[in-house]
């Protein structure tokens, strides 16, 4: 990637491959990606806290975690070179980014992926997928008063039950390059 601005959001459903696609894009574009885990590390580090301390502060209401995450996401987007992936990408939907991508996949594919990645029984993986879907739905409703599955929130929606992560990354690269070069 040239020295210019590049901000891509790769969000979607748990188990649809947001992390994997963001990692591929990061490698191809030569820019970092951020996700909830990295953002939580930044927040804990900035406050001189452990993960547990941060979690306790969030539970007690001492720290409003969603607001803190939104602020970190905004800082990274303003820097102009980042891929914001997963749940964290939902905080960037109203920010000036170059491309907003939503990854969708069939529930059974997502459950299988979560079970494999987290080494969980299928029933537990299914519960995590359902919890995540409800949580992301509620987050987008809270932030934007919209349905998180509303395709109009995104520039590109990809079904990773039909495309491999590498193919999805290639499609995103193609669309990004078309947008930047023909803007």
Identify which of 23, 25, 19 has the alpha carbon closest to the alpha carbon of residue 98.
25
Judge whether residue 150 has pLDDT over 50: yes
In a domain? residue 148: no
More confident residue, 129 or 57: 129
In a domain? residue 89: yes
In a domain? residue 110: no
In a domain? residue 54: yes
In a domain? residue 123: no
Q: pLDDT over 70 for what percent of the chain?
A: 98
In a domain? residue 142: no
Q: What is the domain count for the chain?
A: 1
Task: Residue 64: give its domain's CATH number.
Answer: 3.40.50.300
Q: pLDDT over 90 for what percent of the chain?
A: 76
The answer to whether 109 touches 15, Cβ cutoff 8 Å, is: yes
Over range 29-43, report the average pLDDT: 90
In a domain? residue 139: no
In a domain? residue 70: yes
What is the separation, in whole angstroms, between the first and last Cα of the chain? 16
Q: What's the CA gap between 45 and 122, in Å, rounded? A: 35
Mapping DSSP to helix (H, G, I), strand (E, B) and coil, where does residue 164 land?
Answer: coil
Identify which of 71, 22, 80 has the alpha carbon closest to the alpha carbon of residue 46.
71
Q: What is the pTM of this model?
A: 0.91
**Which range of residues forms the domain containing residue 101?**
6-105+154-170
Would you state the pLDDT for residue 3? 59
């Amino acid at each position: 990637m040239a020295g210019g601005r590049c901000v891509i959001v790769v969000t979607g459903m748990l188990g649809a491959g947001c992390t994997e696609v963001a990692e591929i894009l990061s490698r191809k574009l030569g820019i970092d990606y951020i996700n909830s885990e990295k953002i939580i590390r930044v927040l804990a580090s900035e406050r001189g806290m452990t993960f547990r301390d941060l979690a306790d502060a969030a539970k007690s209401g001492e720290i409003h975690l969603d607001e803190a995450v939104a602020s970190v996401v905004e800082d990274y987007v303003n820097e102009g070179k980042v891929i914001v992936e997963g749940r964290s990408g939902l905080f960037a939907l109203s920010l000036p980014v170059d491309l907003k991508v939503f990854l969708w996949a069939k529930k059974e594919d997502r459950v299988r992926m979560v079970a494999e990645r987290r080494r969980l029984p299928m029933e537990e993986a299914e519960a995590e997928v359902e919890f995540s879907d409800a949580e992301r739905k509620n987050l987008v409703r809270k932030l934007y008063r919209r349905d998180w599955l509303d395709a109009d929130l995104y520039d590109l929606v990809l079904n990773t039950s039909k495309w491999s992560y590498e193919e999805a990354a290639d499609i995103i690269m193609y669309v990004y390059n078309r947008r930047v070069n023909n803007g």
